[in-house]
Amino acid sequence: MLIKGPALIQPSEITPRAQFEARRRLLRAGAASLAAWTLRAAGAQEGPADTLGLLQESPFSIAEPPTPKKDLTSYNNFYEFGSNKQDPALQAYKLPTRPWSVAIDGLVHKPRRIAIENLLRLAPLEERIYRLRCVEGWSMVVPWVGIPLSVLLRQVEALSSARYVEFESFYEQKIMSSPIFGRLEWPYVEGLRLDEAMHPLTLVAVGLYGEVLPNQNGAPVRIVVPWKYGFKSAKSIVRIRFVEEQPLTSWRKAVPQDYGFYSNVNPDLIHPHWNQARERRLGEFRKRDTLPFNGYADQVAGMYAGMDLQRLF
């Protein structure tokens, strides 16, 4: 169902706003759901965006309306820029997003460093709408622009000993919180098992709402793992390392009793300190029931067959 887009797209060339709004109206009308559809640049502004031609909608996209952009960009966790949900929107302008590159190394045959400008040349852009939920209890539907992480990981030819990947976020003390912030240490570190990292629902995102990723959402490139709690989705990454042992992630290191490595969305988990059964979607009042694996169980539950998810949470 995918319609192939052009191979040469840069983050600066992501769908202009007007075009996206037209598409969103279609989404709202329920026309999109899982159907592939395209929108020509006709009537859109001139300039680089014209080269987009056709865009594509991920078959993983859900039909629910996206959370308003102002909510996605004004209520954030990005602790390098403070601990209030409003801080990242005010402080993350300090993040220097150019020049930027992502090193992919560790247990691989061909380590590489990929400049942000080249990152998206590796695959056609896909625009994807995902539900992403955070352990704090709020949830949202984000129209991410990104490519599957697997596209990047395949560039380096992993050694057979590699079993996990570790993500490292950008850190610079001059502009960010001090090296130990509360109990969190910088740089922020997250990780996935290799099969999770290769799953087509795991993205490297470079935009949202058809626009370049705002700094507070993890510019210029961040991970998105929609069936896990938000903290697994490392922002502003500079390194992806293939490793043999399960990475010691920032939150686990800081508060091991509360944070598991897997962190799959699980309403049934009996957690020592909080209940994960319900969530509030940004912009809504009434809480809704949280779905196992955030509603992506059909796609991802198989990866955890036979695992005790109460113990390996």
Ligand X SMILES: Nc1nc2c(c(=O)[nH]1)N[C@H]1C(S)=C(S)[C@@H](COP(=O)(O)O)O[C@H]1N2
Q: Does 145 bind ligand X (CB under 6 A)?
A: no
Which pairs with CB-CB distance under 8 Å and at least 24 residues apart come from 41-44? 43/18, 44/16, 44/18, 44/19
The residue with its CB nearest to ligand X is 230
Stretch that binds ligand X, among 57-65, 225-233, 253-261, 275-283 (CB under 6 A): 225-233
Is residue 23 packed enough to be buried (19+ CB in 10 Å), middle (13-18) or exposed (0-12)? buried
Q: Does 290 bind Mo ion (CB under 5 A)?
A: no
Q: DSSP string of 19-48?
A: HHHHHHHHHHTT--TT-------TTS-SSG
Residue 169 binds which of Mo ion, ligand X, none (CB < 5-8 A, kind-dependent): ligand X
Choice between 231 and 261, CB closer to Mo ion = 231
Q: Does 169 bind Mo ion (CB under 5 A)?
A: no
**Helices in 120-168 by DSSP H: which ranges?**
149-153
Q: Does 144 bind ligand X (CB under 6 A)?
A: no
With CB under 5 A as the contact rule, the residue among 143, 207, 226, 230 that binds Mo ion is: 230
Task: Give the contacts of 149 (CB within 8 A, at least 6 positions apart).
Answer: 197, 198, 202, 203, 204, 223
Residue 164 binds which of ligand X, Mo ion, none (CB < 5-8 A, kind-dependent): none
Instruction: Report d(CA 65, CA 265) in Å as an integer.
Output: 21
Choice between 71 and 105, CB closer to ligand X = 71
**What residues numbered 269-288 form the site for ligand X, per CB under 6 A?**
none
Residue 78 binds which of ligand X, Mo ion, none (CB < 5-8 A, kind-dependent): ligand X
Q: Which residues make up the interface to Mo ion (CB under 5 A)?
A: 77, 134, 230-231
